[in-house]
């Protein structure tokens, strides 16, 4: 717990740094609608608890923003009744892209990941220093780890950029999350059984640390991470299982997943901040956005510690049953029209 004040300051610094990448847009003198402190805390808790657990933070945030009624497509206007624009009408966007609560909420669910980034950066600070020294040619181990992370990051980065708009249009829905939760649970159940069967066969000279992964193994983990672009699948789950297949034990698989998440989440959050972060601030304002990031940072740090301890002793089966139960609950709520605006 003594690291929490430092975590608070680091998350605040990261959130403020993100704002520097946000392009200017026409903004009202006050937030267009209110994001309450309760909403910010709720979303921060959901992000922090689920980001590194193999249950899908994006899927949970889609559900949470829908439950909080932040998914409205209503076009927002200023005090004079004039429309507020994310992108003004132009040759590229003849009809313009209006500011809506949904646009702001979708952006917030990505930007809030700065809190989770802060948590990993603090908990694995020594690894970051090692990689930085490796970049300068002073630490061979750190350089090798950095190369593995970059190789694992590139597949999802490329596919994510190419398919970003299609994914947001077609897969950001409750029904898509339900399908991904079930598919992910079945895949994780099979992978856990495979790991248990393979454990007695592992040789002492096999892969034991993330730094000892080959480039091919790192690329394989990266390809599995691409599947997690489907909201509800879980980036953490796919990369942990990828570590299993590469020969890492659950603890080391999780640690590589956390470090890879640091790279992937930073890239995704910076991209979203630049493309629509200013629109999010125009709709919600700064204070509660920062509050959500800070709550996410603290809860993510606790969640990482829990996951490491749990995986070391018990593996992934708890999360298989959680995902199935969560999918059943979502299906029942969807059938009851709970998520309708």
Q: What is the pLDDT along the chain (341 residues), one digit of tens a residue?
A: 445 445 544 544 454 444 444 444 444 445 556 678 899 999 999 999 999 999 999 899 989 998 888 887 888 776 677 777 777 788 777 887 787 888 888 888 888 898 999 999 999 999 999 999 999 999 999 999 999 999 999 999 999 888 888 888 888 889 999 999 999 999 999 999 999 888 655 554 556 788 889 999 999 999 999 999 999 999 999 999 999 999 898 999 999 999 999 999 999 888 888 888 877 887 777 888 899 999 999 999 999 999 999 998 999 999 999 999 999 999 999 998 888 76
Q: Is 247 left (phi over 0), alpha (psi -120 to 50) or beta?
A: left
* Residue 133 neighbours by CB distance under 10 Å: 16
The pTM (predicted TM-score) of the whole model is 0.83
What's the 3-state SS for the chain?
Answer: CCCHHHHHHHHHHHHHHHHCCCCCCCCCCCCCCCCCHHHHHHHHHHHHHHCCCCCCHHHHHHHHHHHCCCCCCCCCECCCCCECEEECCCCCCCCCEECCHHHHHHHHHHHCHHHHHHHHHHHCHHHHHHHHHHHCCCCHHHHHHHHHHHHHHHHHHHHHHHHHHHHHHHCCCHHHHHHHHHHHHHHHHHHHHHHHHHHHHCCCCCCCCHHHCCHHHHHHHHHHHHHCCCCCCCHHHHHHHHHHHHCCCHHHHHHHHHHHHHHHHHHHHHHHHHHHHHHHHHHHCCHHHHHHHHHHHHHHHHHHHHHHHHHHHHCCHHHHHHHHHHHHHHHHHHHCCCCCC
Give the residue extent of every domain in the chain.
Answer: 4-335
CA distance 234 to 225: 8
Length of the chain, please? 341
Interval 211-237: pLDDT, tens? 889 999 999 999 999 999 999 999 999
Task: Kindly report, residue by residue over 102-134, the tens digit of the pLDDT.
Answer: 888 888 888 889 899 999 999 999 999 999 999
């Amino acid at each position: 717990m003594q690291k929490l004040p430092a975590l608070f300051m680091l998350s605040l610094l990261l959130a403020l740094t993100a704002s520097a990448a946000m392009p200017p847009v026409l903004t009202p003198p006050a937030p267009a609608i209110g994001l309450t402190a309760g909403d910010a805390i709720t979303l921060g808790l959901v992000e922090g608890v689920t980001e590194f657990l193999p249950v899908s933070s994006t899927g949970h945030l889609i559900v949470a923003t829908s439950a909080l009624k932040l998914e409205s497509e209503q076009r927002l206007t200023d005090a004079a009744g004039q429309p507020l624009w994310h992108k003004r009408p132009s040759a590229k966007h003849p009809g313009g892209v209006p500011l809506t609560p949904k646009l702001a909420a979708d952006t917030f669910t990505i930007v809030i990941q700065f809190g989770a980034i802060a948590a990993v950066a603090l908990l694995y600070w020594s690894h970051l220093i090692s990689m930085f020294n490796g970049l300068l040619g002073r630490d061979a181990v750190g350089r090798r780890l950095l190369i593995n992370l970059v190789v694992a990051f590139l597949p999802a980065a490329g596919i994510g950029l190419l398919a970003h708009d299609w994914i947001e249009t077609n897969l950001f829905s409750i029904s898509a999350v339900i399908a991904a939760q079930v598919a992910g649970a079945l895949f994780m159940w099979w992978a856990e059984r495979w790991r248990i069967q393979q454990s007695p066969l592992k040789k002492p000279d096999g892969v034991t640390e993330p730094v000892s992964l080959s480039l091919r193994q790192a690329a394989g983990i990266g390809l599995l991470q691409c599947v997690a672009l489907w909201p509800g699948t879980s980036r953490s789950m796919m990369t942990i299982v990828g570590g299993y297949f590469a020969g890492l034990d659950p603890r080391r698989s999780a640690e590589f997943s956390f470090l890879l998440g640091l790279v992937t989440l930073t890239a995704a959050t910076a991209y979203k901040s630049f493309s629509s972060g200013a629109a999010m601030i125009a709709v919600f304002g700064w204070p509660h956005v920062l509050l959500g990031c800070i709550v996410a940072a603290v809860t993510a740090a606790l969640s990482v510690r829990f996951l490491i301890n749990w995986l070391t002793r018990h593996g992934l089966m708890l999360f298989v049953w959680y995902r199935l139960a969560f999918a059943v609950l979502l299906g029942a709520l969807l059938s009851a029209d709970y998520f309708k605006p």
